[in-house]
Structure 1
């Protein structure tokens, strides 16, 4: 059996020596999971249950990822909110996606839930910040609360998202802002149709969001 040889994905600003001098506003100060004091509360609040190993470190619910360290704000589960905004119906149906400014792929306009914030509030805030679309007062359908196969996940820090479907009668004006380089409405009759349109435009669909988009399509087909 080959020895497990994971890659440390911790960026310079989150390494212990850097955290000793400065903690980024979006990150906790804990240098390792051993410095976290509220694991019982975090486990209770988790969208997806997780365990602690013999050291008291959180274990990714899916098991080994091939990556260690932390490239997210917190050790353990980092909660996100992903609003899937769909306009129209049938052959005319479209979905609102942003071009992420970090990896330049087409993605759902979501983001991290802030401390003390609820997932429903985060859904509305992230959508407004990234696309200027204000859906405050709309009541979305919660599609799921799941682990997202995010590129920043590691054995001890990962993303779990609340995904929700917003249905509009027609498209609305959207403007890219915050973490979005661009924002566009795309055809959304099927995932294959969406893939084809994005590929034809010389772009790529963010792989981690494919299951969430398919779940939205499945719900719309019911």
Structure 2
């Protein structure tokens, strides 16, 4: 997790509140600094060294899962306000669209949830990832699941649960993650094999968030906090 994160008081979170002393920590990694981008652009990132180098803000705003505004100099502003971080530790400035397939098998006491162990933060998380340029969210849901667990659900019709901001550890004032989450229901568990960005793929008890938490904690692991709201929504849908 990022150790430079500052705590932003709730009263100062909104962009409409003046805070002249605000000095967010820059979380830009070395490979995304302007001098590095001038030499080589990573395959997962855009070449724009700053938001001023982005020429399609109107298109990005129109396509955003969660609406956002630009400041007086034309730079994007996190939809929920100040984060205590500036710069970019994501592929794009502004919104970075992700897809999170929530795969649930069985019913009642036998209900299980598929999670992966992420290789970046070593926590249990939904097997999702970023939507590729030109890719649709439904296609990204299928691709990410197959890449990280080996499970092909291209013939299954999921239930789209929502489009939400994700409290991702890489978020900053100018770059953040918003995700399309979808629920896949299977009659029984299927074999999952960790690959790509996953260190492990595991089926966990999913009668409730408490049951999930207890199982993960007992195994000496940690649930990725940013995905808790998505899992809570899935449980609400299953309870209907």
Pick the TM interval, shorter chain. Answer: over 0.9
Query: In the TM superposition, what whole-angstrom CA distance separates every residue of 1:76-97 from its partner, at most 9, and x where no partner exists?
Result: 0000000000000011100000
Q: Count how many residue pairs are aligned between Structure 1 and Structure 2.
A: 222
Question: Counterpart in 1 of 2:186?
Answer: 168
- The reply to whether residue 139 of structure 1 matches residue 146 of structure 2 is no
The whole-number CA distance in structure 2 between the counterparts of 1:136 and 1:31 is 37
Q: Is 2:206 the partner of 1:181? A: no
Q: Deviations over 1:97-154 (max 9, x none)?
A: 0000111000000000000000000000000000000000110000000100000000
Q: Distance in 1 between matches of 2:192 and 2:38?
A: 41
The answer to whether the aligner puts 1:117 opposite 2:117 as a matched pair is no
Root mean square deviation of aligned Cα? 0.8
Counterpart of 1:70 in structure 2 is 88
Q: Which runs of 4+ in 1 moved over 3 A?
A: none
For the pair 1:4 / 2:19, whether they are aligned, the reply is: no
CA distance in structure 2 between the aligned counterparts of 1:2 and 1:110, rounded to whole angstroms: 38
Q: Distance in 2 between matches of 1:198 and 1:24?
A: 34
Measured in 2, the distance between the counterparts of 1:201 and 1:181 equals 15
> Structure 1: which 5+ residue stretches go unaligned?
none
Is 1:220 aligned to 2:238, yes or no? yes
| Aligned-residue offset at 1:2 | 8.0
How far apart are the structure 2 equivalents of 1:3 and 1:37? 30
Note the alpha carbon deviations across 1:36-60, whole angstroms, 9 max, x for none.
0000000000000000000000000
How many Å separate the matches in 1 of 2:201 and 2:156? Answer: 21
Q: Could you give the per-residue CA deviations for residues 13-66 of structure 1, whole angstroms, max 9, x where no partner exists?
A: 000110010000010000000000000000000000000000000000000000
SS in 1 for 2:217: helix
User: Structure 2 length as normaliser, TM-score?
Assistant: 0.92
Instruction: Say which SS state the counterpart of residue 185 (structure 2) adopts.
Output: strand
